[in-house]
Structure 1
Amino acid sequence: MSGNRDGVFRGREGERELLNGVLDAGTGVVLVDGAAGTGKTRLLAEVAAVAARRGFDVATAQDELDQPFLLARLAEREPDGPTLVVLDDLHLAEPGTLAALRALLPASGDAKVVWLLARRRGEGADRLFAAAAHRGAVRIDLRPLPEQEVVELVTDLAGGVPDHDLRALASTAGGNPAALIGLFDALERDGQLELAAGNASLRTDRLPRRTEALLGDLVGSLSGTARHLLQVASVLGQRFEPGDVAEMLASSTAILLPALDEVIGAGVVMSLEDRLAFRHEILWRLVADSVPPPVRRALHREAGEMLLARGDSAVIAAKHLLHGAQRGDVRSIDGLVSAAKALLWNAPEAAAELAVRALELTDQASASLLHRTVIAVRALTAAGKLAAAQALAQEALSRQVAPDAAAKLRHCVATTTLLTARHAESVEISEALLREPDLRPELVGWVEITRMMALLGHDRRRAEELAESVVRTHQGSPDDVLATALAVLAAIARDAGQPGAALELAREAARSGTSHDLSAYPQLLLATLLSGLREFAEADSVVRRVRGGPSAVVTRETMTSVVQARMLLQAGRIEEASIEARGALAVAEETGHETLVAPALAVLAMVAVHTGDLPAAVEHVERYRGRAAVDGLVFSRAYYQWADVLVTHVGSGLDEAMALLTGQYPGLVASGLFAEEPRAAGWFVRRALEAGDERLARDVVDRVERLAGDHPAFRAVAAAALHARGLVDGDAELLELASQQHRDLWARANAAEDLGVLLAGGPEGRAESVKALENALGLYREIGASRDSARVLGRLRKLGRRRRAAPARPASGWSGLDDTERAIANLVAKGQTNRQISTQLFMSPHTVNFHLRKIFRKLGISSRVELVMRSRDH
């Protein structure tokens, strides 16, 4: 029956087999029971057609009015041959008709007559059916179609295999074929069905008006008690506890049992393992929308208060109180505040919404106003709404405020000014707070942390003195003030060119932190140092721990994205680095995190250099020049200066770059740059030699060799020293060794290219030069450094070689996915969201989205639904 849109014969194979057996016998009585729409009338028509083809004389009444006349004709004459008598809708027959039929049935036992009698179950003809059954009549009960046959019928009706959502909607028909036909007719007329690659799903961009009307009729057919139960349940959510509904109706589950049976039997509600649920979101919203808004608000308030009174989660209660709380409603507002505090770190946006709503509902004369203001300001800060947080705090401080609340609000202002890179202002507020004699001990630590971080961006000398003092006085058990002090000293040591001390301090700082509420600065600083030294596995492990923590504070997440963007860049994953940095930049600019704008721009500038997008590189550097001077928190100032020199060289030439290096950034070579970016050493030597500045080249070599000698465990610095020395001395063996020992692909490619250039100038080095340059080309292509690839191709052409590298894997299809893409595809197939996937794979949602776009392109699809179906095939 595939493709048959009425589809009523799906799942009736057993009944047809039984009826064929009765026709084979040529005599007997068959009783067919079935609810409306179960297909009994069509089943009777099919049997009649089969009987006629087999030579039966078929006698059928047109309707209940024709039934007495048919029975009279049958009583007057004996059938000449095998006969099938079909009587449908006997629940509508008159008593006299039923009596005449009862009189005929016993006399037909020996005659070649098959009686096929049908009715709607439970609506009449009970005595007739009971008597016939007592005499041995065959009974057929047309039950709802089982799930698999429903899926087959839905496939017929929709024209494709239904997805989970479409099957859930189809289940509202309760396995009734006619109801399914009506439902899918409404869906088709609403334009709700979407077909792709043999699969059917629901569209969400169109209103299901006819479908809703059909489902509305289903709900409207219920009793008043059942409808009221559903309306209360809809307020509790798409899934609900029957006990909660009973409590809100001031009843009991036992008393509501008939109504619960009714809504389950009607297919509106289904039973899950732990609760009940509306069968589909459309049904749930349809019922919820039938509740007038004022009543719905009141029900939400009652639900929230019920949950609070019972001691349930304040977070769950708050979902209702957010919709139902009213001004002055102290209990409900306190529930919102409790939920905001519970969500502050792991769901700050939701916390901010709850806290601000609680504040809006608070009377200005309330004694709780200031406390709720503090919670709202903290939640807004955690959610990254820095301008709103600062404005709310300052507005509250403009009034008469108790000292304790004022201190908390002023610290919030100090925090927001720090994050918006107004470091001097943050220092001033923090130090004024610390001079107050009655500052609460639990706030002192937070203010100390804010002051140290602000000083790091404002006054390095004072930051160092304060951090050293903290380290001397906080020896013992770990705490966050100590962790911050150690991290500050690590950042200062990094910028002073002391990478060994910086790494040791950063490790100790990461171990000393205890709070998940901070921005994870100590851990992320450690990750930047490790990544700079190309210890990618350990750096990645640190970032995984940060991403896997319970905090979702926007500052923490955005700083993590910035750090990971540079790590990806340093590891040669340029495209991913670009996506991560762009996502971080967008959040930083949107939320006012000025302190994170410059790091994101610096990464994007380096990406643009590698990919040959000179206008973008210049724009990014010009944008961060004014900001980098006040950074030095996330990346060193030397890193920004190197990127500036690099972009200047690409855009304006060697002379401009050398003038910038010797004029504006004279201390760059002596800084800690070569421990933060070891590959920069070879670049500086190369440029110095091109400019004929042998002294600068020697200075670079001396600096990087001294770093390597002082820190023999830093393998990336050792490789950089080999590279620099090989360039200065024109030593091919050292360059080849450097190309093997460099710990990032771009530096390895640089060394191979330098080797190729050196060998090309020798009398017999042409073949080896080509080999080295082809090695460099392969590495540049692997990381997506298109500008560098183009340069090496030019060198190879001069040597008479033209080649194109074949792709490492197919460009399309499932086999074209790399390991990361396959992992993401598998998690999508399991129903995971981008945020859930990002948590599992320790990457940001921006990176997940980037990979999804690549997956869609390779597989030639455009939706997650298609990806799920393709994943099942693999």
Structure 2
Amino acid sequence: MSGNRDGVFRGRDGERELLSGVLDAGTGVVLVDGAAGTGKTRLLAEVATIAARRGFAVATAQDELDQPFLLARLAEREPDGPSLVVLDDLHLAEPGTLAALRALLPASSHEKVVWLLARRTGEGADRLFAAALARGAVRIELRPFTDDVVADLVADLAGGVPDHDLRALASTAQGNPAELIGLLEALKEDGQLAVTAGRASLRADCPPRRTEALLRGRVSALSGKARHLLQVASVLGPRFEPGDVAEMLASSTAILLPALDEVIGAGVVTSLEDRLAFRHELVWRLVADTVPPPVRRALHREAGEMLLGRGDSAVVAAQHLLHGAQRGDVRSIDGLVAASKAVLWNAPDAAAELAVRALELTDQASASLVHRTVIAVRALIAAGKLTAAQALAQDALSRQVSPEHAAKLRHCVATTTLLGAQHAASTEISEALLEEPDLPAELAPWVEITRMMALLGHDRSRAEELAEAVVRTHTGSPDDVLATALAVLAAIARDRGEPGAALELAREAAQSATSHDLCAYPQLLLATVLAGLREFAEADGVVRRARSGPSSVVTKELMVSAVQARILLQAGRIEEASAEARDAVTVADDTGHTALVAPPSAVLAMVAIHTGDLPAAIEHVEQYRGRVGVDGIVFSRAYYQWADVLVSYVAHGLDKAMGLLTDEYPELVSSGLFAEEPRAAGWFVRRALEAGNEGLAKAVVDRVEQLAEENPGFRAVAAAALHARGLFDGDASLLELASQQHRDLWARANAAEDLGVLLSAAADRTDSVKALENALGLYREIGASRDSARVLGRLRKLGRRRRAAPVRPASGWSSLDDTERAIANLVAKGQTNRQISTQLFMSPHTVNFHLRKIFRKLEISSRVELVMRSRDDQ
């Protein structure tokens, strides 16, 4: 590889080695062939320089006019030493010059003369080159650079290794060094090149004026037929089938073959395995921009109709019809509608766009207007655009529509009100529809499903009564109405504390579902029951199957995210749980899914408690408490209530939490909470004993032991019963057993900590320290910084330091230990030293001590700098 950084000799190592060998021999004829821009002239110049250094007398013509005079001088005198004769651009030489040169070449074979002759391939001097080859001349053909050499050359010119996009644009030069250098110079002039961490890429924030002009010039140099072909192809997209272009041109691929060869040879188009493609999006857009908008719309319409006419994908056809359809164009609009139906479940956003566009193009007097409105409303619901869907449905209902279409639109409104947590309104609409004698048969099951789900969030006794009737009277094969009824009964059994019945019903519900229209609710309910019982592997499998199912509607995606977030939290994967829940809350807020704000908000409240972010915990509880009635559809009401009590304890103290438990949630202890969240049992016993409320503590123990006795197959509930009894009786052996048998890291850590606290009263505190250090290790594994800080505080009181932590860097964010990181996070959230001391169970003086260490490690001097550093580093 040449050391020249301008890249001209990249990839010419073989040619230069051959020429060097000829110079070593001191005699011979070398013929150089190459297209324009392949570096012939520069190669000849470099060889001439090398020859001069070796003592050769170098003779070269300035241009084709000087060539005859040079040949005349060579014919008149004998060279007195090694000589190099360089003649370039012989394709431009006069016939007489070429004849004189042919006469001179044979005489040179025994002389110390090297002849270096170059021409542009295929443009002249054919007889001369043929004669020279016949007499033993060596031929060098300068071929286009390979892709690897092009990448190296671009790296030289751009100053960094090119990414895929830049390499694709560079490929338009077809490996021609001059073309490539010109392209890179244009990109530099346009400010299009960006180099980051040694990687060169194209910027999108600078107009590529010079680059476009250069590429436009290449396209303009093509023949009229080739440009015409490219314009039609550009309408089909960056990639296209040659047969489609031929059909739109009312021609054949065979007839278009010369033009196809031309555009491929020019580097504008490349051949992929299954189709042709513009070499770069910039080239495609440049060609597309040459098509006037009215013509482009007409071509899109023709392309869409062509695809529909031969039965191709309605989705592909719709992409063209979106650009080309016009008001009243029935065939094109029907194509948009067909495409919307085709992608409704796997691409709901696209379905909504297609359906709404079809509706916009429909004449108000068209008989298809209401039918297309129904399709648009359903697509908008699938895409999560609930407000737009409800507004469009109600607007249509305000006009005179047929009973069948009115029923469909009213059911859509019932669905949007259900998802908006207006359960009573959804119930009312659904029941009114079911009373109508002419309700379409295909719609009736979905109205029944909507009613049962609305009642589950509005009137549990009626929901149970209705679901039991469906199960009792159902005949025939399983269907979605039966699946919904079983899921409703499973949710009610879960909330009552009947985990065995809940699991059995949920399994049957998941197996009975036949359609993805249910948004995977039966499957996801099964996953929540399994995860509550700490059967994480099976729960994960259910969620994965639900997530990978055929439906991508927003409601399903939200429910999957909420359920997945809580499973991750229960399994101790706190950061993943937080990320999943945050995304779900954002989407639920943005799309108006008020009913689905509560589940991920409760997860985030739990995360915030365990990471010591009290303000965030309070905010999340208020979010689901103030904006939505907790409906118990996805998670039980008890789960939200426990989160509320837990946050109240941390924020306001024991009295507030106990008051909330007795005044607002008196049935929480007798609910199914301890089967859904087994570790809650130990927490309640701990708090009740702390408050001196032995009656409450005993009620918790009795309840969880009852659950364990009634459901002997569930190890998580049995471990919770051991934990609760061990705390209540002060029995270290039971707590140790619970810490071994708990099926999740959270509960195991809680039991180990409780054991450590109990043993701390003994004279020998060795076992206490061991248990607390075990708890500390588990909390660290989870990432529960607040819990870790609490255990560290307990260890300090025992006069023991924690076990040696892994070696940390001396400075930077990663140098902070668990306590320092927890304090830094709370400072970044605006909390004072006193607030932090309450959160992390240490004095304000200790907080200040750690804060000074944090400042030193991060090389900062103020809380403001810490806030900024925290944002940057995290």
TM-score normalized with structure 2 length: 0.90
CA contact (8 A) 1:745 1:783 kept: yes
Q: Report which stretch shifted further, 490-499 or 441-450.
A: 490-499
Specify the alignment match of 1:78 in structure 2.
Answer: 78
2-structure distance, mates of 1:494, 1:82: 100
CA contact (8 A) 2:630 2:640 kept: no
CA contact (8 A) 2:601 2:620 kept: yes
Specify the alignment match of 1:381 in structure 2.
Answer: 381
Q: Cα distance 1:726–1:48, how it changes in 2: closer, same or farther (>3 A)?
A: same
Cα offsets for 1:83-108 (capped at 9, x unmatched): 22211112222333334334434444
2-structure distance, mates of 1:457, 1:79: 105
Specify the alignment match of 1:652 in structure 2.
Answer: 652
2:399 match: secondary structure: coil
2-structure distance, mates of 1:488, 1:258: 67
Structure 1 residue ranges without an equivalent (≥5) = 817-874
2:172 matches 1:143: no
Specify the alignment match of 1:410 in structure 2.
Answer: 410
- Compute the displacement of 1:346 (Å): 0.5
Cα offsets for 1:276-334 (capped at 9, x unmatched): 11112222222222222222222111111111111100011111111111111111111
The one-letter amino acid paired with 1:617 is A
1-structure distance, mates of 2:532, 2:108: 97
Specify the alignment match of 1:32 in structure 2.
Answer: 32
2-structure distance, mates of 1:801, 1:632: 45
Q: Cα distance 1:162–1:629, how it changes in 2: closer, same or farther (>3 A)?
A: closer
Moved over 6 A (4+): 808-813
CA contact (8 A) 2:314 2:338 kept: yes
Q: How does 1:230-309 map to 2 (within 5 A)?
A: 230-309=230-309
Cα offsets for 1:242-266 (capped at 9, x unmatched): 1111111111111111111111111
The one-letter amino acid paired with 1:688 is A
1:70 match: secondary structure: helix
Cα offsets for 1:711-750 (capped at 9, x unmatched): 0111111111111111111111011111111111111111
Q: Report which stretch shifted further, 408-417 or 1-10.
A: 1-10
The alignment's C-alpha RMSD in Å is 2.1
CA contact (8 A) 1:3 1:156 kept: no
1:718 match: secondary structure: helix
1-structure distance, mates of 2:321, 2:779: 57
Structure 2 residue ranges without an equivalent (≥5) = 816-874
- Compute the displacement of 1:585 (Å): 0.6
CA contact (8 A) 2:2 2:13 kept: no
Specify the alignment match of 1:782 in structure 2.
Answer: 781
Specify the alignment match of 2:591 in structure 1.
Answer: 591
- Compute the displacement of 1:365 (Å): 1.1
2:340 matches 1:357: no
Cα offsets for 1:530-568 (capped at 9, x unmatched): 111111111111101101101101000001111111111
- Compute the displacement of 1:117 (Å): 1.9
Q: Report which stretch shifted further, 48-57 or 781-790.
A: 48-57
Q: Cα distance 1:76–1:760, how it changes in 2: closer, same or farther (>3 A)?
A: same
2-structure distance, mates of 1:686, 1:6: 75
CA contact (8 A) 1:628 1:640 kept: no
CA contact (8 A) 2:561 2:581 kept: yes
- Compute the displacement of 1:372 (Å): 0.9
Cα offsets for 1:619-654 (capped at 9, x unmatched): 222222245645111111111111111111111111
Cα offsets for 1:748-768 (capped at 9, x unmatched): 11111111111111233x111
Q: Cα distance 1:22–1:569, how it changes in 2: closer, same or farther (>3 A)?
A: closer
2-structure distance, mates of 1:639, 1:516: 27
2-structure distance, mates of 1:488, 1:2: 75
2:119 match: secondary structure: strand
The one-letter amino acid paired with 2:782 is I
Q: Report which stretch shifted further, 776-785 or 305-314.
A: 776-785
2:797 matches 1:798: yes
The one-letter amino acid paired with 1:494 is R
Q: Cα distance 1:71–1:558, how it changes in 2: closer, same or farther (>3 A)?
A: same
1-structure distance, mates of 2:61, 2:626: 93
1-structure distance, mates of 2:809, 2:70: 74
Specify the alignment match of 2:766 in structure 1.
Answer: 767
Q: How does 1:71-150 map to 2 (within 5 A)?
A: 71-150=71-150
CA contact (8 A) 1:5 1:181 kept: no
Specify the alignment match of 2:846 in structure 1.
Answer: none
1-structure distance, mates of 2:418, 2:667: 27
Specify the alignment match of 1:665 in structure 2.
Answer: 665
The one-letter amino acid paired with 2:456 is L
CA contact (8 A) 1:464 1:492 kept: yes
2-structure distance, mates of 1:268, 1:747: 64
Specify the alignment match of 1:536 in structure 2.
Answer: 536
Q: How does 1:459-538 map to 2 (within 5 A)?
A: 459-538=459-538
1:32 match: secondary structure: strand
Specify the alignment match of 1:390 in structure 2.
Answer: 390
- Compute the displacement of 1:210 (Å): 2.3
2-structure distance, mates of 1:255, 1:295: 23
Cα offsets for 1:7-31 (capped at 9, x unmatched): 2222223333433444344444332
2-structure distance, mates of 1:662, 1:627: 23
2-structure distance, mates of 1:6, 1:221: 27
Q: Report which stretch shifted further, 712-721 or 81-90.
A: 81-90
2-structure distance, mates of 1:277, 1:653: 67
Specify the alignment match of 1:46 in structure 2.
Answer: 46
1-structure distance, mates of 2:629, 2:20: 91
Number of aligned positions between the proteins:
814
Specify the alignment match of 2:4 in structure 1.
Answer: 4
Specify the alignment match of 2:550 in structure 1.
Answer: 550
2-structure distance, mates of 1:69, 1:15: 29
2-structure distance, mates of 1:314, 1:569: 42
1-structure distance, mates of 2:201, 2:556: 39
1-structure distance, mates of 2:214, 2:373: 48
Q: Report which stretch shifted further, 542-551 or 165-174.
A: 165-174
1-structure distance, mates of 2:662, 2:334: 62
Q: Report which stretch shifted further, 368-377 or 3-12.
A: 3-12
2-structure distance, mates of 1:388, 1:3: 64
1-structure distance, mates of 2:218, 2:727: 82
Specify the alignment match of 1:218 in structure 2.
Answer: 218
1-structure distance, mates of 2:598, 2:392: 27
- Compute the displacement of 1:197 (Å): 4.0
1-structure distance, mates of 2:3, 2:333: 57
1:114 match: secondary structure: strand
CA contact (8 A) 2:738 2:748 kept: yes
2-structure distance, mates of 1:742, 1:548: 31
The one-letter amino acid paired with 2:424 is A
CA contact (8 A) 1:240 1:276 kept: yes
1-structure distance, mates of 2:730, 2:401: 72
2-structure distance, mates of 1:109, 1:2: 31
2:58 matches 1:61: no
The one-letter amino acid paired with 1:759 is L
2-structure distance, mates of 1:222, 1:244: 21
CA contact (8 A) 1:523 1:546 kept: yes
2-structure distance, mates of 1:588, 1:506: 25
The one-letter amino acid paired with 1:269 is V
2:710 matches 1:710: yes
2:517 match: secondary structure: coil
2-structure distance, mates of 1:573, 1:148: 44
- Compute the displacement of 1:804 (Å): 5.6
2-structure distance, mates of 1:175, 1:526: 59
CA contact (8 A) 2:2 2:9 kept: no
TM-score normalized with structure 1 length: 0.90
2-structure distance, mates of 1:281, 1:385: 32
- Compute the displacement of 1:2 (Å): 5.2
- Compute the displacement of 1:239 (Å): 1.2
1:514 match: secondary structure: coil
2-structure distance, mates of 1:19, 1:700: 93
Specify the alignment match of 1:845 in structure 2.
Answer: none
